[in-house]
């Protein structure tokens, strides 16, 4: 591998978005197992998610299992058709395109899967696996396919002579490289990486992360990086969204999210990560214990979905769903009491916006005044210290 | 020696048609009651194999096990199968990585927890069930008297792991081996399980061996750390010592290849080159030499011809390392630390 600096992409606030997702929703029907198969409920896997991925930049999506992060990734690659919402890719809504219309789009959006062993066909050679997209999309003439495959294998750090080997002849890290080579064949503009390193050994994880950073830099690919490992996401993505039960609870640039998290769930999640270097120098962060398990997405709690496990939950939390409120130039949080750990406000800050009083009861005549679930960021935001709207 | 568990020169070899797989080759360590030993290493480094040898799980296979495993003075390797059965589940218990595949899907959780108690105690089914409920309650399962009749698939991942812990601890074992207990779990659940293990250890004064590849888990849980590579211990000593003054390039590699929450985001991740060696034909000399970046600092071809001994580290004490480098502490402080943690390097001149 080259000795070039493997560095994470920097946050480029001026980069236009390659992907804009608005109010994305995915409900999976739960069927009654009888004669009539009637629908008895819905798994609200993704419920109103909005975000942007900048061109050539990366957005991290973190959360616990079952929070809907993988479903979001699969919606964007259109492996699922969303129940509702918009997926604007390069200025075009792809949410409800037909399979035929999707075909050219598959070139532009590619996916890297978690488990390299099960995402490669064991009966195909590596050459066939990497060449398949080239043949399907007829990108290069048939006699140019092999040279292109070998070039790609070289890009991802594999021996180009190994194109006629089978996946089982490679180690886990090498297999993941094959998966990456396959996703790069069509020179996509957006890569959805769903837990790309969590099945790999620690020493190999770093190799793959460095490779992903190199290809991102070289080809200017936008990344939606889905992972549950907060440290790896921090290393890879300049901007991160935290999901809980199908909703984004906090989205911010790396610096803000990791050093000044305002949502109690983000704070708990961060405090739960064991930290080698902290322990090595003797310091140990106080851990916030989250009791119990994530509630069922079939019947999520009313109001704020996190309230059943939140230490700050009050009456308003069960009545009114907190909007994703912008509280900094690149920082949004969905909480009635947002604040750094131990500095949460006494009164809910969202009453005026939601048109309710402190207990969450509707105030007659008041209505919600701003469009809150828009992707991207506004030029003005609510300053939590003064309670006024401010701008940069 | 007064240690509760003391493993000496443990060798586990698997003869295959291609040759002998040396899964564990001359491993020694000790654990006291109330203390935790963390064993770290990549997959295939022999962590799990050496620990299942303590439970006698290689009996009945064609594995060749030799050495000594002294548990409270008894050599477990000299016992016959029936005597070993007496120990297994009562003095020594194990928690497996994936609780869904470690539990029987056709029996209720309560049944499976009570079984260990029934086997080792002269009690009736009712008493065993009561004990199972008590243990479920102890590990923090809500409504234990109702959940005891549930099947494993009705439990969430975190609850299943709690049930596994209940099963492991029902007979108050002196030694608990936790093989990747939290790898399959989310971070918040992982934190709950680690807290639980620490609470229970305080209560029962058990010795714990925690096998993991996550240095963060080791840093939080362990008193001592054993770093394994290709079936051998390459570094062994007090946890804090090893994390702050590691003296073996493999440990440096492990530390440098994981990002952490406080690091400078511009700091590079430095992976360990190449892949773990085959245990069938490990490289001659130091098994780590083909992946080592510091081989050129050792004069001659020592690294490729001679297996380094476990010698006392430069920082002294109980810290031992297996490396030919003459001044690993200086190399670490001047070359490795500034690359992986520039902020820490400045603080400790």
- B236 within a domain of the structure (yes/no): no
What's the CATH number where B185 sits? 3.40.50.300
Q: Answer yes or no: is pLDDT of A44 > 60.
A: yes
Residues B177 and B306 in one domain: no
Residues of A in contact with B253 (CB under 8 A): 203
Task: Give the distance between the most distant pair of CA atoms in chain A.
Answer: 73
Give backbone dihedrals phi and psi of A218, rounded to 5 degrees, phi first. -70, -40
Instruction: Tell me the per-residue pLDDT of A92-105, one tens digit each, with 9 for 90 and over.
Output: 999 999 999 998 89
- CB A293 to CB B42 under 8 A? no
Region A45-73: mean pLDDT is: 91
**CB distance from B244 to chain A under 8 Å?**
yes
Domain carrying residue B155: 5-222
Residues B284 and B199 in one domain: no
Region B298-322: mean pLDDT is: 88
CB nearest to A275's CB, from B194, B261, B268: B261
Instruction: Tell me the per-residue pLDDT of B187-218, one tens digit each, with 9 for 90 and over.
Output: 888 888 898 899 989 988 999 999 988 888 89
pLDDT at site B273? 84
Contact B118, B128 (CB under 8 A): yes
Q: When comparing pLDDT for A358 and A301, which is higher?
A: A301
Give backbone dihedrals phi and psi of A37, rounded to 5 degrees, phi first. 50, 45
pLDDT at site B349? 45
pLDDT at site A369? 55
Q: What is the mean pLDDT of chain B?
A: 88
Instruction: Tell me the per-residue pLDDT of B106-121, one tens digit each, with 9 for 90 and over.
Output: 999 999 999 989 999 9
Residues B255 and B187 in one domain: no
Confidence of residue A88 (pLDDT cuts 50, 70, 90): very high
The gap from C-alpha A202 to its chain's centroid, in whole angstroms, comes to 22
**CB distance from A2 to chain B under 8 Å?**
no
- CB A279 to CB B243 under 8 A? yes
Residues B197 and B320 in one domain: no
pLDDT at site B343? 66
What is the percent of chain A where pLDDT is above 90? 46
Query: Nearest chain A Cα to B251, which residue?
Result: A203
Q: Answer yes or no: is pLDDT of B123 > 70.
A: yes
Region A200-213: mean pLDDT is: 86
Residues B59 and B137 in one domain: yes
Confidence of residue A291 (pLDDT cuts 50, 70, 90): confident
- How far apart, in whole angstroms, are the C-alpha atoms of residue A232 and residue A209? 8
pLDDT at site B136? 93
Region A130-154: mean pLDDT is: 91
Q: Answer yes or no: is pLDDT of A283 > 60.
A: no
Q: Answer yes or no: is pLDDT of A4 > 50.
A: no
When scoring B162, B258, B341, B347 by the number of chain A Cβ atoms within 10 A, the one with the most, hence best to mutate, is: B258
Residues B146 and B186 in one domain: yes
Residue pairs spanning A and B at CB distance below 8 A? 139
C-alpha distances (whole Å) from B153 to each of A33, B105, B134, B159, B347 are 18, 7, 21, 10, 50
Query: Tokens 């750094």 label which residue?
Result: A340
Residues B309 and B190 in one domain: no
Q: What is the mean pLDDT of chain A?
A: 87
**CB distance from B192 to chain A under 8 Å?**
yes
CB nearest to B219's CB, from A209, A280, A293: A280
Residues B260 and B332 in one domain: yes
- How far apart, in whole angstroms, are the C-alpha atoms of residue B119 and residue B114? 9
CB nearest to A277's CB, from B157, B186, B263: B263
The residue among B79, B172, B214 whose CA lies nearest residue A205 is B214
pLDDT at site A1? 39
Listed by number, the residues of chain A in 122-151 with a beta carbon closer than 8 Å to a beta carbon of chain B are none
- How far apart, in whole angstroms, are the C-alpha atoms of residue B99 and residue B179? 11
**CB distance from B275 to chain A under 8 Å?**
yes
Instruction: Tell me the per-residue pLDDT of B7-33, one tens digit each, with 9 for 90 and over.
Output: 999 999 999 888 899 999 999 999 999
Confidence of residue B163 (pLDDT cuts 50, 70, 90): very high
- CB A274 to CB B344 under 8 A? no
ipTM of the complex: 0.80
Q: What does the DSSP assignment read for B5-21?
A: EEEEEEEEEEEETTEEE
CB nearest to A201's CB, from B43, B219, B260: B43
Q: Which of A281-295, A296-310, A370-384, B75-89 has the lowest mean pLDDT?
A: A281-295
Confidence of residue A371 (pLDDT cuts 50, 70, 90): low
Residues B214 and B275 in one domain: no
The gap from C-alpha A294 to its chain's centroid, in whole angstroms, comes to 19
Q: Answer yes or no: is pLDDT of B346 > 80.
A: no
- B232 within a domain of the structure (yes/no): no
- How far apart, in whole angstroms, are the C-alpha atoms of residue B255 and residue B327? 19
- A43: closest CA of chain B, how far (Å): 17
Residues B55 and B201 in one domain: yes
- CB A276 to CB B257 under 8 A? no
CATH class of the domain comprising A17-244 = alpha beta
**CB distance from A292 to chain B under 8 Å?**
yes
CB nearest to B220's CB, from A204, A279, A289: A279
- How far apart, in whole angstroms, are the C-alpha atoms of residue A197 and residue A185? 20
Q: Answer yes or no: is pLDDT of A9 > 90.
A: no
Confidence of residue A392 (pLDDT cuts 50, 70, 90): low
Q: Answer yes or no: is pLDDT of A5 > 60.
A: no
Which of B206, B222, B238 terminates a domain? The answer is B222
Rounded to a whole number of angstroms, the CA Rg of chain B reads: 21
The domain tally of chain B equals: 2
Q: Answer yes or no: is pLDDT of B220 > 70.
A: yes
- A65: closest CA of chain B, how far (Å): 7
Listed by number, the residues of chain A in 104-123 with a beta carbon closer than 8 Å to a beta carbon of chain B are none
Q: What does the DSSP assignment read for A367-384?
A: ---S--S-SS--SEEE-T
Residues B199 and B262 in one domain: no
Instruction: Tell me the per-residue pLDDT of B44-74, one tens digit each, with 9 for 90 and over.
Output: 888 889 998 999 988 888 899 999 999 988 8
Residues of A in contact with B275 (CB under 8 A): 171, 173-174, 204
- How far apart, in whole angstroms, are the C-alpha atoms of residue A150 and residue A242? 38
What is the percent of chain B where pLDDT is above 90? 44
- CB A235 to CB B265 under 8 A? yes
**CB distance from B214 to chain A under 8 Å?**
yes
pTM of the full structure? 0.86
The residue among B22, B31, B21, B26 whose CA lies nearest residue B10 is B26
Which of B168, B187, B222 terminates a domain? The answer is B222
pLDDT at site A222? 93
Residues B190 and B274 in one domain: no
Q: Which of A31-35, A225-229, A311-315 has the lowest mean pLDDT?
A: A31-35
- B95 within a domain of the structure (yes/no): yes
The residue among B182, B185, B158, B188 whose CA lies nearest residue A273 is B188
């Amino acid at each position: 591998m080259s000795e070039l600096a493997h560095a994470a992409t920097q946050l480029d606030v001026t980069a236009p978005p390659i992907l804009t997702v608005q109010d994305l929703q995915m409900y999976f029907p739960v069927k009654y197992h009888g004669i009539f198969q009637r629908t008895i409920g819905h798994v609200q896997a993704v419920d109103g998610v909005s975000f942007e991925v900048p061109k050539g930049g990366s957005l991290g999506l973190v959360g616990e299992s079952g929070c809907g992060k993988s479903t979001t990734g699969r919606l964007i690659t259109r492996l699922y058709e969303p129940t509702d919402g918009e997926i604007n890719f390069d200025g075009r809504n792809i949410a409800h395109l037909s399979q035929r219309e999707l075909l050219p789009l598959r070139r532009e959006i590619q996916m890297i899967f978690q488990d390299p062993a099960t995402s490669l066909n064991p009966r195909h050679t590596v050459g066939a696996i990497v060449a398949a997209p080239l043949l399907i999309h007829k990108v290069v003439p048939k006699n140019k396919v092999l040279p292109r495959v070998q070039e790609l294998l070289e890009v991802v750090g594999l021996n180009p002579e190994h194109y006629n080997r089978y996946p089982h002849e490679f180690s886990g890290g090498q297999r993941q490289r094959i998966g990456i080579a396959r996703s790069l064949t069509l020179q996509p503009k957006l890569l959805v990486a769903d837990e790309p390193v969590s099945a790999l050994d620690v020493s190999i994880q770093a190799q793959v992360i460095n490779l992903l950073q190199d290809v991102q830099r070289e080809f200017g690919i936008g990344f939606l990086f889905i992972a549950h490992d907060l440290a790896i996401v921090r290393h890879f993505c300049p901007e991160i969204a935290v999901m809980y039960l199908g909703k984004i609870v906090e989205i911010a640039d790396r610096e803000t999210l990791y050093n000044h998290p305002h949502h109690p769930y983000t704070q708990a999640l961060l405090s739960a990560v064991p930290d080698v270097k902290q322990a090595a120098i003797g310091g140990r962060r106080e851990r916030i214990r989250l009791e119990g398990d994530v509630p069922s997405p079939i019947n999520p709690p009313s109001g704020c979905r996190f309230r059943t496990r939140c230490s700050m939950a009050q009456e308003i939390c069960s009545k009114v769903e907190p909007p994703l409120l912008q509280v900094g130039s690149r920082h949004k949080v969905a909480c009635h009491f947002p604040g750094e750990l131990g500095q949460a406000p006494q009164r809910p800050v969202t009453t005026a916006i939601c048109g309710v009083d402190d207990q969450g009861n509707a105030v007659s005549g008041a209505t919600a005044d701003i469009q809150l679930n828009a992707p991207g960021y506004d030029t003005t935001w609510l300053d939590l210290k003064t309670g006024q709207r401010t701008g940069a | 020696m007064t240690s509760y568990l003391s493993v000496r020169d443990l060798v586990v070899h698997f003869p295959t048609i291609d040759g002998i797989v040396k899964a564990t080759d001359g491993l020694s360590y000790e654990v006291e009651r109330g203390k935790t030993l963390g064993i770290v290493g990549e997959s295939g480094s022999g962590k799990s194999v050496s620990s299942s040898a303590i439970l006698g799980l290689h009996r009945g296979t064609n594995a060749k096990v030799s050495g000594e495993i002294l548990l409270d003075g008894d050599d477990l390797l000299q016992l016959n199968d029936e005597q070993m059965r007496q120990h297994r589940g009562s003095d020594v218990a194990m928690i497996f990585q994936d609780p869904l595949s470690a539990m029987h899907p056709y029996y209720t959780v309560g049944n499976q927890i009570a079984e260990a108690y029934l086997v080792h105690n002269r009690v009736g089914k009712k008493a065993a069930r009561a004990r199972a409920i008590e243990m479920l309650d102890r590990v923090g399962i809500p409504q234990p008297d109702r959940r005891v009749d549930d099947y494993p698939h009705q439990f969430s991942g975190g609850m299943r792991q709690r049930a596994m812990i209940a099963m492991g601890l029902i007979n108050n074992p002196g030694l608990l081996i936790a093989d990747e207990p939290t790898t399959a779990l989310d971070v918040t659940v992982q934190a709950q399980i680690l807290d639980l293990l620490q609470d229970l250890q305080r209560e029962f004064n058990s010795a714990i061996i925690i096998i993991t590849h996550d240095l963060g888990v080791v840093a939080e849980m362990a008193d001592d750390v054993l770093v394994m590579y290709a079936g051998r211990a390459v570094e062994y000593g007090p946890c804090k010592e090893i994390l702050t003054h590691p003296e073996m390039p493999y440990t440096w590699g492990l530390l440098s290849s994981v990002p952490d929450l406080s690091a400078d985001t511009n700091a590079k991740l430095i992976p360990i080159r190449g892949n773990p060696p085959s245990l069938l034909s490990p490289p001659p000399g130091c098994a780590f030499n083909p992946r080592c970046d510091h081989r050129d600092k050792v004069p001659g071809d020592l690294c490729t011809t001679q297996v380094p001994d476990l010698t006392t580290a430069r920082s002294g004490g109980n810290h031992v390392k297996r490396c030919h480098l003459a001044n690993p502490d200086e190399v670490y402080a001047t070359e490795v630390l500034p690359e992986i943690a520039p902020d820490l390097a400045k603080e400790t001149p």
